[in-house]
């Protein structure tokens, strides 16, 4: 029996090898095993290392995973499927449909590629214009004929109205 920091310190040996060192506390007779047989018998290799490996793997997978919600992924999958269909108005690649804005993609699928380019060019005003005039055949013909530059003009009249129509 040895003394360490004023407390009795016992060592147990089996076949000449130290297996456990005990530090006995005098007040409540508590024993703590330091460097015990579990540590030396391979607990580190069989429990701690796989636990650390599993934790690191889980953290890595969490960092590289797709953080979008299920609803957004389902909408994007439906848009990509419709964009791949033969004779679609919006022939975009699946990789592009996975990253583009969903509201712009819905305009593309509904009104065509020209409307999509106009919506990309004027994102603030195009949503209002397509909500009001998107289904109108005359608007679609004008958009096909003159391109995206008609969006700001039509948006101005959507927001401010027309004096000619106010007088009638």
The model's pTM is: 0.53
Residue-by-residue pLDDT tens, the chain, 168 positions: 555 555 555 555 444 554 554 444 555 555 555 555 545 556 666 777 888 899 999 999 888 887 778 888 888 888 888 888 888 888 888 888 888 888 888 888 888 888 888 888 888 888 888 888 888 888 888 888 888 888 888 888 888 776 665 554
**Two tokens, residue 49:** 């290392």
> Which residues contact residue 152 at a Cβ distance below 8 angstroms, ignoring those fewer than 6 apart?
122, 125
What is the C-alpha to C-alpha distance for residues 134 and 143, in angstroms, rounded to an integer?
10
Query: SS3 for 56?
Result: helix
| Residue pointed to by tokens 């449909």 | 97
């Amino acid at each position: 029996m040895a003394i360490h920091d004023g407390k009795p310190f016992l060592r147990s040996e089996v076949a000449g090898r130290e297996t456990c060192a005990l530090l006995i506390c005098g007040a409540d007779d508590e024993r703590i095993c330091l460097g015990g047989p579990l540590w030396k018998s391979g607990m580190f290799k069989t429990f701690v290392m796989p636990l650390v490996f599993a934790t690191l793997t889980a953290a890595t997978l969490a960092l590289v995973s797709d953080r979008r919600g299920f609803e957004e992924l389902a909408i994007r999958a439906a848009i990509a499927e419709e964009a791949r269909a033969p004779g679609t108005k919006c022939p975009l690649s699946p990789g592009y449909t996975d990253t583009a804005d969903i509201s712009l993609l819905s305009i593309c699928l509904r009104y065509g590629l020209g409307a999509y380019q106009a919506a990309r060019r004027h994102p603030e005003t195009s949503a209002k214009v397509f909500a009001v005039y998107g289904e109108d055949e005359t608007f679609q013909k004008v958009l096909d004929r003159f391109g995206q530059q008609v969006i700001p003009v039509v948006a101005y009249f959507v927001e401010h109205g027309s004096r000619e129509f106010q007088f009638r």
